[in-house]
């Protein structure tokens, strides 16, 4: 750990309580449920996901699509967002009490909303849309049928994703605060604790490595599985893995985590509302390497210098605790769920003055490693590579690690190793790689790819100019240049040339691309554009028959283009 960070941390720093939004009094009888059956959850608010907090609750729909979805209160449709990924088909309704409700992963819209949405798609000749709806255009009353549940977008199964937002700030608030679920009396579960040495001369059990300690207990009372005293010295941070379930094992979610040392609060967080601009800071809240390597969701009781989450309060010295005496110290964690149920973990550590780390000597920082600063722009330039990390793109200062290895099969540059995948990036960074032996005819087909195990490529895009390929990346890793000359693949599912389609109601087509990825598609019937829903996760295009399908012979044409301009075309005459 670099010394500059320790200098920055020395002393007592209390992060103002203003950073933590105090819990408001939310109306619990204003909204009705968006569904007509009891709300049980498949996903909770604030749940830790890759690169984000889960921003709402996932309401189970008994594993099926097509359940009616209702307006939770009077208001007007303020936004419609349709995407092949993300929330899929989503509907935003703004209410006169200052809140906006959102339902996502819908199968389709209902009534006048469906008519208006399709008209906009036809007008723009686009399935995807993100449109602000003028106030008064689509008014709704509480209990109106507005849509049907589905599995659209990046959904792992049929459900309704439901959110409540502050209409003024667009902060997302846990819907359970508004009474959308019956009260839960089951406390959270604490499953493990992690103790980290933090910086030079810091030790846990006379070593410079963190230790992971399983926890046992029930009914809100927990203790460590081990009886041995944990020995600590120097700057130490703590982390905890915790979860919460209601009756029947259904998720409700953890809101608050508080850490006390010898009866003094040193850290507190409360995730019951946050802004979308904050959500990627989850990568700083968690033990990021533990999540990437083993999917462990360890929440660190530490606030990195560039962690701008507003969920913290009562944080002393960024959550770093300094142990230099020869005394035992009582560590107490309190975890609370959305209904105020709490779980407590108490354990002790034994402090000691600085000592030898079991005969180990910390490896010195390599002098050729460039120091990356979170506070300023960083430019890295080596032979064949240029890499720019803007200010506030990382959460803390660290020495940058770089190396290059020879080209692999199918590549047109060396493989550039940028830091490692265990270090998170918050914002996009510019990466340029100089090509080697790239034929002129393939310049327009060249892209930067990340290289994973077995020399597998994953496209990261890019544009060629004067021998260099430039793109934006948001993860560290291993990168090289390759080309994509293969067109997308189109596979008809339920049609073939000259088929009689009178007994079916749709055209289904699978589309895929080997590397660069599908960028655009266009379906026509008798020369006119038709609306084809795109289910990205299943690589499925679907056209539901409408007035565009005429009696007799119809000519269906689909063209699909990937990100580097390779195009595929499918054509079939269909009888109706």
Note the pLDDT tens digit of each residue in 141-153: 999 999 999 999 9
Reply yes or no on whether the pLDDT at 300 is more than 70.
yes
Looking at the structure, do residues 305 and 189 belong to the same domain, yes or no? Answer: yes
Element (H or E) spanning 293, and its range?
A: helix 288-294
Burial 280-293 (b: 16+ CB within 10 A, else e): bbbbbbbbbbbbbe
Burial 319-339 (b: 16+ CB within 10 A, else e): bbbbbeeeeebebbbbbbbbb
Tokens encoding 134: 């003028």
Looking at the structure, do residues 166 and 189 belong to the same domain, yes or no? Answer: no
Domain boundary among 424, 457, 483: 483
Separation between Cα atoms, residue 512 and residue 539, nearest integer Å: 6
- Confidence at 250, pLDDT banded by 50, 70, 90: low
Looking at the structure, do residues 70 and 191 belong to the same domain, yes or no? Answer: no
DSSP labels for 2-50? -HHHHHHH-S--EE-GGGSPPPP---SSSPPPSSSS---EEE-TT-EET
Burial 33-71 (b: 16+ CB within 10 A, else e): bbbeeebbbbbbbbbbeeeebbbbbbbbbeeebebebbb
* Domain interval for residue 158: 57-173
Note the pLDDT tens digit of each residue in 347-381: 999 999 987 755 444 443 444 578 999 999 999 99
Indicate which CATH number applies to the domain containing 110.
Answer: 2.70.70.10
Domain boundary among 152, 173, 194: 173
Q: Which of 575, 557, 558, 552 is nearest to 498 (CA)?
A: 575
Note the pLDDT tens digit of each residue in 26-59: 998 999 999 999 998 999 999 999 999 999 999 9
Separation between Cα atoms, residue 225 and residue 111, nearest integer Å: 58
Contact 259, 194 (CB under 8 A): no
Note the pLDDT tens digit of each residue in 78-125: 999 999 999 999 999 999 999 999 999 999 999 999 999 999 999 999
Separation between Cα atoms, residue 533 and residue 544, nearest integer Å: 9
Tokens encoding 385: 């590579």
Report if residue 254 sits inside a domain: yes
Q: Which of 275, 273, 248 is nearest to 181 (CA)?
A: 248
Domain boundary among 103, 138, 173: 173
Looking at the structure, do residues 477 and 510 belong to the same domain, yes or no? Answer: no
Q: Which residues are CB-neighbours of 528 under 8 A, at least 6 positions away? A: 548
Looking at the structure, do residues 196 and 290 belong to the same domain, yes or no? Answer: yes
Looking at the structure, do residues 501 and 478 belong to the same domain, yes or no? Answer: no
Looking at the structure, do residues 410 and 335 belong to the same domain, yes or no? Answer: no
Report if residue 378 sits inside a domain: yes
φ, ψ at 284 (rounded to 5°): -95, -30
Separation between Cα atoms, residue 470 and residue 152, nearest integer Å: 33
- Token pair 């990437």 is found at 292
277 DSSP assignment: G
Looking at the structure, do residues 477 and 498 belong to the same domain, yes or no? Answer: no
How far, in Å, are 72, 138, 163, 170, 193 from residue 94 at the CA level? 10, 11, 12, 11, 42
Reply yes or no on whether the pLDDT at 22 is more than 60.
no
Report if residue 33 sits inside a domain: no
Contact 251, 44 (CB under 8 A): yes
Tokens encoding 182: 């019956």
Note the pLDDT tens digit of each residue in 311-342: 999 999 999 999 999 999 999 999 999 889 99
Looking at the structure, do residues 476 and 493 belong to the same domain, yes or no? Answer: no
Looking at the structure, do residues 195 and 336 belong to the same domain, yes or no? Answer: yes
Number of domains in the chain: 4
Report if residue 40 sits inside a domain: no
Reply yes or no on whether the pLDDT at 3 is more than 70.
no
Q: Any idea of the CA torsion for 435, 439, 444, 445, to the nearest 10 degrees?
A: -80
Looking at the structure, do residues 423 and 521 belong to the same domain, yes or no? Answer: no
Indicate which CATH number applies to the domain containing 522.
Answer: 2.60.40.1220
Report if residue 46 sits inside a domain: no
How far, in Å, are 1, 10, 329 from residue 356 at the CA level? 17, 22, 21
Report if residue 314 sits inside a domain: yes
- pTM for this entry: 0.90
Indicate which CATH number applies to the domain containing 400.
Answer: 2.60.220.30
Looking at the structure, do residues 389 and 470 belong to the same domain, yes or no? Answer: yes
DSSP, collapsed to helix, strand or coil, labels residue 176 as helix
Report if residue 360 sits inside a domain: no
Report if residue 474 sits inside a domain: yes
Q: Which of 558, 496, 183 is nearest to 337 (CA)?
A: 183
């Amino acid at each position: 750990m670099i010394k500059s960070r320790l200098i920055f941390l020395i002393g007592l720093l209390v992060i103002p309580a203003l950073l933590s939004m105090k819990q408001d009094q939310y109306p619990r009888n204003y909204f009705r449920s968006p569904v007509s059956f009891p709300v049980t959850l498949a996903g909770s608010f604030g749940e830790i996901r890759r690169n984000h907090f889960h921003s709402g609750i996932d309401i189970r729909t008994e594993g099926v699509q097509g359940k009616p979805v209702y307006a939770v209160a009077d208001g007007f449709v303020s936004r419609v967002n349709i995407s092949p990924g993300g929330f899929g088909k989503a509907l935003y309704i703004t209410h006169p009490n200052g809140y906006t409700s959102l339902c996502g992963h819908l199968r389709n819209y209902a009534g006048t909303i469906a008519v208006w949405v399709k008209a906009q798609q036809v007008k723009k000749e686009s399935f995807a849309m993100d449109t602000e709806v003028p106030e008064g255009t689509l008014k709704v009353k509480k209990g109106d049928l507005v849509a049907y549940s589905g599995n659209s977008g990046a959904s792992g199964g049929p459900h309704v994703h439901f959110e409540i937002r502050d209409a003024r700030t667009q902060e997302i608030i846990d819907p359970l605060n508004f009474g959308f679920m019956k009260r839960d009396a089951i406390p959270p579960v604490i499953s493990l604790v992690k103790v980290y040495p933090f910086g030079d001369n810091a030790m846990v059990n006379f070593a410079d490595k963190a230790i992971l300690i399983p926890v046992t207990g029930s009914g809100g009372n927990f203790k460590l599985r081990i009886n041995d005293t944990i020995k600590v010295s120097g700057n130490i941070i703590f982390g905890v893995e915790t979860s919460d379930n209601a009756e029947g094992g259904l998720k409700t979610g953890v809101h608050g985590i508080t850490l006390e040392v010898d009866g003094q609060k040193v850290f507190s967080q409360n995730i019951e509302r946050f802004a979308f601009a904050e959500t990627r800071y989850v990568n700083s809240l968690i033990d990021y390497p533990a999540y990437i390597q083993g999917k462990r969701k360890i929440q660190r009781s530490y606030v990195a210098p560039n962690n701008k989450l507003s969920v913290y309060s009562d944080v002393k010295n960024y959550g770093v605790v300094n142990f230099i005496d020869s005394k035992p110290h009582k560590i107490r964690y309190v975890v609370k769920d959305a209904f105020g149920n709490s779980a407590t973990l108490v354990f002790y550590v034994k402090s000691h003055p600085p000592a030898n780390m079991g005969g180990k000597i910390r490896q010195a920082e390599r002098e050729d490693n460039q120091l990356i600063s979170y506070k300023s722009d960083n430019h890295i330039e080596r032979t064949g590579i240029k890499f720019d990390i803007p200010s506030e793109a990382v959460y803390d200062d660290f020495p940058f690690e770089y190396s290059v290895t020879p080209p692999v099969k199918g590549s047109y540059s060396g493989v550039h190793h940028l830091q490692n995948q265990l270090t998170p990036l918050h914002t996009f960074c510019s990466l340029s790689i100089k090509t080697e032996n790239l034929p002129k005819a393939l310049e327009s087909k060249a892209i930067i790819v990340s290289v994973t195990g077995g020399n597998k490529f994953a496209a990261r895009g890019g544009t060629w100019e004067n021998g260099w390929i430039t793109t934006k990346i948001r993860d560290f890793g291993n990168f090289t240049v390759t080309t994509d000359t293969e067109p997308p693949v189109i596979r008809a599912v339920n049609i073939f040339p000259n088929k009689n389609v009178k007994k079916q109601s749709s055209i289904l087509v699978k589309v895929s691309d080997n590397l660069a990825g599908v960028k655009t598609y266009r379906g026509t019937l008798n020369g006119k554009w038709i609306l084809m829903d795109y289910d990205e996760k299943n690589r499925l295009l679907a056209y539901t028959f409408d007035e565009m399908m005429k009696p007799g012979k119809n000519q269906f044409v689909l063209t699909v283009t990937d990100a580097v301009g390779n195009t595929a075309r499918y054509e079939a005459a269909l009888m109706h």
